[in-house]
Amino acid sequence: MNYLDTPFLVQLSFDDVIAEWEKVAADQRGGRAGEARALLEEVCLHPELREGLKNELQITENADLIRRLMHDYFPDVLRNNEIKAISLPYRKDIFNHTDRFTSILAAAGPDFELNIRDLDPSQSYILSCCIILNEFYGTHLDFFKPLFCDIPTADGIIRHYRILYNADNLEISPTDKALPISQEEIDLLLDNYDDIDMWRAKFPKESWLLRGFSLITLVDVTVENAVSIFKEKLLVLNAGNFQQSVETIFRSIYKIADIRVGFTVFNRYKGIFKAANFGHRMKSFILSDDEDSCSEEVLCVNSFQELIRGKEFFAVSDATAYLAANLQSRLAAQLLSQDIESFILAPVTKNNNLLGILELVSPRKKELNSINANKLQIVMPFLTDSIDRLIGDLQNQVQALIQEKYTTIHSSVYWKFQEEAEHILARMSQENPDVMEEIVFPDVFPLYGQVDIKGSSEVRNSSVQHDLQHQLKSLLSLLDEIKTISPEESFDEEELQLNAFLSDLIMPLKANTEQLIHNYVVNKVQRYLRQLKDIRLKPLINGYFSEDEKEGGSFHHHRRKYETTIATINEKLAAVIDHRQVEAQAIFPHYYERFKTDGVEHNLYLGATIAPRKNFHLQLLHRLRLWQIRVLCEMEKTHHDLKDRLPYPLEVTTLILIYNTEIDIRFRMDEKRFDVDGSYNARFEIVKKRIDKAHVKDTAERITAPGKITLVYAGDNEEDEYIRYLRILQDEEILEEGLELFEVEDLQGVSGLKALRAKIAH
């Protein structure tokens, strides 16, 4: 017989059924007693029916007798309706089929073998063992899952069936090969489902007897199963074989062996149909093979109204007759040119928006019509969600590509990066996609400004010194207490070094002092403390380590105050300019970037190339320059109001660089940011980096000062322009009266700069 790999010794026996017939024969009042006795007389001549059939020949020889024995299980009235047979679990032999089962197998062909879908030999063996554990060892393992098989029809359509087993007439018992299983071994098996060798060792072949018979019944679930498979396929809609897979599914649903499926995307913004390209171009019957898109006019009035306006299926059962009645129908002519005689167009809609058209077509009239179009209702929700997901995924791919290649891009120039990203994605299917083009915006005006936290480095160094002094003193005190409690411990070398560090901390902090002390304390002293075993020392040592926690320990108290101060200032300042950006972008779209360091600095670049669809003129530049001064004054005022509430009341200084020459900016792929392009334009960056620490010429005074805004420039034209802006702000009482004009000291590679300075009104 044809067995699957299991731990069972299988015996096909009809002992239970024979016992039922014996009860019938013994019932003198029953009308079937004579029939039962005659049947039992024949059975007595074939003891193997009770003892167990051992081969296929015995089944064949007893086929008629088995059929009569099983008559009550296979009533004649249901033989053309039920798909049923006798079987044993884990045995491929199936016999005593109903007439309908026989005809299904005959249509599948002589070489067809019924197999359970997605059940490999290892699973079969392990599931058999699980049955034994539940039956004899009191476990309650839930390993049930639906079983399915796929059977082709004579014309090649795949039908899907669910397999139901009735095992009421089966019994399991151990053979002399069975091994005892302990609870520990059961627990081990539960954690090692995939270890087939372990299961085979605990349950050897033929160590358990499976005796009796089972009934197998198939239930046609082609439509339901096709929908389930369709849902799985939709997860990989962009796979290369997707269209072929989907056509197979729809052929099962519609029972049409050569039905074909297409899909066309609808762009509602442009009102056009486009070829769907989710990694691979899908077939579109609305479009010809050499078309990438067409207008919505390809649909006639009726179909357009139903699909786009009414979101209803549009079905034509006779395309020839439809064209004769609608001579202007480009759609019917297009489909007939592809030998399509009946078709269904189904709108894929989401949130009342048309995403695309699902196309089902047949080369024969009447096969597709408005009645069987309703079958699509069971698949359309899944298709709709998947198409919506894929469109979203495509947008996310564009966004991800932009972020991977260009980092996060400001909305004003996003269009340029999106354009390039879409070109890249479109070229990815080619064998040699083009090299990525560089993103350059020529002839833009730069605006630069900063609000810098004054003295932040000194305050940081001071906070580090205070914290390290506190930690070292606490550590020296701890070592003294340890020696008192445990005199055998000696820390002479460590105490000497820690005291040396304390002496160093009296002087201004050097660049490497903090790291040097940290490494010594952690790698030398703290490592030794962790190795001490005296239980009396644990509270002291644990107390020390709790103070070394960055989030709440006292050894980081001043550094936390410093970091809180810097973070609070940066957050408040950045919030002001970010909020005011809405107003600035309304003046004219421009590229904006902002950085938090010890303060907040920003760059603005504007010009016709940033927003080519807008009309740029110099008056817009002047408006943004005035906007910039207003915002920096507002940022300084925000800090002034905040200062007294900070852990460290640090001051800020405010600076603007005026640059009256257009420059080019290029996106630097290695740095993921924009930078000036070319040596000619580099002067702007050089000046920007060198002016914040500059002095008034021939003095030791910095050009920037707390409470004041400083504007650095090179020419008289800029001076006149910005004096007008400052006068405006003085009239509005944003600035106090009075202006300072002075020259800036010569810097390396930069000379001839001037500055305006005004006091901000509080």
Q: Which of 45-59, 407-421, 710-724 has the highest mean pLDDT?
A: 710-724
Residue 121 is assigned to a structural domain of this protein: yes
Residue 517 is assigned to a structural domain of this protein: yes
Q: Which residues contact 448 (CB under 8 A, 6 or more apart)?
A: 601, 602, 603, 604, 656, 657, 659, 684, 688
Nearest-angstrom CA–CA distance, 320 and 341: 7
Residue 35 is assigned to a structural domain of this protein: no
**Which CA distances in Å does 401 have to 407, 424, 466?**
9, 9, 47
Full-model pTM: 0.49
Nearest-angstrom CA–CA distance, 272 and 171: 67
Query: Are 315 and 233 contained in the same domain?
Result: yes
> pLDDT class for 314, splitting at 50, 70, 90?
confident
Residue 672 is assigned to a structural domain of this protein: yes
Host H or E run for residue 40: helix 33-44
The single residue listed with the structure tokens 């500059």 is 694
Mean pLDDT value across the chain: 84
Query: Are 687 and 736 contained in the same domain?
Result: yes
Residue 566 is assigned to a structural domain of this protein: yes
The single residue listed with the structure tokens 């209702």 is 377
Query: Are 487 and 631 contained in the same domain?
Result: no
The DSSP call for residue 702 is: B
Q: Domain boundary residue among 203, 220, 237?
A: 220
For β-strands 208-212 and 663-668, DSSP reports them as unpaired
Residue 685 confidence (pLDDT): 78
Q: Which residues contact 184 (CB under 8 A, 6 or more apart)?
A: none
Give pLDDT tens digits for 611-637: 877 899 999 999 999 999 999 999 999
> pLDDT class for 177, splitting at 50, 70, 90?
very high
Mean pLDDT value across residues 545-568: 93
Q: What sign does the dihedral 123-125-129-132 (CA atoms) show?
A: positive
Residue 559 confidence (pLDDT): 94
Q: Which of 349, 335, 223 is nearest to 283 (CA)?
A: 335
Query: Are 609 and 725 contained in the same domain?
Result: yes
Task: Considering only residues 633 and 255, tell me which one the structure prediction assigns the higher pLDDT.
Answer: 633
Query: Are 575 and 467 contained in the same domain?
Result: no
The DSSP call for residue 696 is: B
User: Into how many domains does the chain fold?
Assistant: 4
Residue 475 is assigned to a structural domain of this protein: yes
Q: Which of 227, 88, 237, 82 is nearest to 160 (CA)?
A: 227
Q: Which residues pair with 675 in a beta bridge?
A: 666
Nearest-angstrom CA–CA distance, 649 and 641: 11
Residue 423 confidence (pLDDT): 60
Query: Are 244 and 172 contained in the same domain?
Result: no
Query: Are 206 and 238 contained in the same domain?
Result: no
Residue 676 confidence (pLDDT): 60
Query: Are 115 and 204 contained in the same domain?
Result: yes
Residue 610 confidence (pLDDT): 82
Query: Are 237 and 171 contained in the same domain?
Result: no
Nearest-angstrom CA–CA distance, 361 and 260: 5
Is the CB of residue 51 less than 8 Å from the CB of residue 62?
no
Q: Domain boundary residue among 220, 240, 261?
A: 220
Query: Are 543 and 595 contained in the same domain?
Result: no
Residue 663 confidence (pLDDT): 86
Give pLDDT tens digits for 232-250: 766 665 565 677 777 888 8
Residue 291 confidence (pLDDT): 66
Give pLDDT tens digits for 682-703: 677 788 888 988 999 999 999 9
Structure tokens at 161: 């069936």
For β-strands 208-212 and 440-453, DSSP reports them as unpaired
Residue 430 is assigned to a structural domain of this protein: no
Residue 138 is assigned to a structural domain of this protein: yes
Q: Domain range holding 547?
A: 456-557
Q: Domain boundary residue among 501, 522, 557?
A: 557
Query: Are 493 and 587 contained in the same domain?
Result: no
The DSSP call for residue 411 is: H
Give pLDDT tens digits for 485-532: 888 888 888 899 999 999 999 888 888 889 999 999 999 999 988 888
Mean pLDDT value across residues 705-716: 93
Q: Classify burial at 109, counting beta carbons within 10 Å of its beta carbon; exposed 0-12, middle 13-18, buried 19 or more.
A: exposed
Query: Are 579 and 550 contained in the same domain?
Result: no
The CATH number linked to 357 is 3.30.450.40
Nearest-angstrom CA–CA distance, 70 and 86: 9
